[in-house]
């Protein structure tokens, strides 16, 4: 197994991910061990600012490491782009810190996840906001 490195992978199906990668030779085949693969999408605002949306590659699993056969890869580009590396590291850190697993396998809610409240309380707030912003209320 060789040293880990950051890279962008382009699959033969057109999908593109960014991840921390280690290459491994086994039985005359090169396999990639991919850690915390992410999808990165460039977002442009109306005023010209550019930002990035970062999300997990696979959304229906809690796994963070995958083995990929090089036969499925169209190209691989090692990255030394510190902005991309920092985005990836922040994503990994956020994933590790926002969900705290209990012993019984359930997840605890924390204030870092957002606002907490009951459905009925939030419903009242939304109804109040909707009534204040509705056109019928503004004309009277």
Local confidence pLDDT in tens for the 140 residues of the chain:
458 999 999 999 999 999 999 988 888 888 899 999 999 888 888 888 888 888 999 988 888 899 998 989 999 999 998 988 998 998 888 877 655 544 445 556 666 666 667 788 878 877 887 776 555 555 54
Task: Give me the pLDDT at residue 103, please.
Answer: 41
Closest CA to 81 of 34, 28, 40, 140: 40
Decide: pTM greater than 0.85: no
Cβ-based neighbours of 98, under 8 Å, separated by 6 or more = 110, 112, 113
Which residue in this structure is represented by tokens 């970062």? 54
Secondary structure tally for the chain: helices H, strands E: 3, 8
CATH class belonging to 5-115: mainly beta
CA 2, CA 23: separation in Å to the nearest integer? Answer: 6
């Amino acid at each position: 197994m060789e040293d880990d490195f950051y890279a962008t992978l382009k699959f033969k199906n057109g999908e593109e991910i960014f991840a921390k990668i280690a290459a491994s030779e086994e039985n005359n085949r090169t396999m990639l061990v991919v850690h915390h693969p992410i999808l990165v999408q460039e977002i442009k605002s109306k005023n010209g600012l550019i930002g990035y949306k970062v999300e997990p590659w696979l959304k229906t699993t809690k796994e963070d490491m995958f083995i990929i056969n090089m036969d499925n890869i169209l190209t691989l580009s090692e990255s030394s782009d510190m902005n991309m590396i920092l985005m990836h590291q922040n994503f990994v850190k956020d994933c590790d810190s926002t969900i705290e697993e209990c012993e019984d396998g359930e997840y605890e809610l924390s204030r870092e996840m957002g606002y907490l409240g009951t459905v009925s309380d939030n419903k009242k707030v939304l109804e109040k906001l909707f009534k204040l912003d509705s056109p019928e209320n503004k004309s009277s």
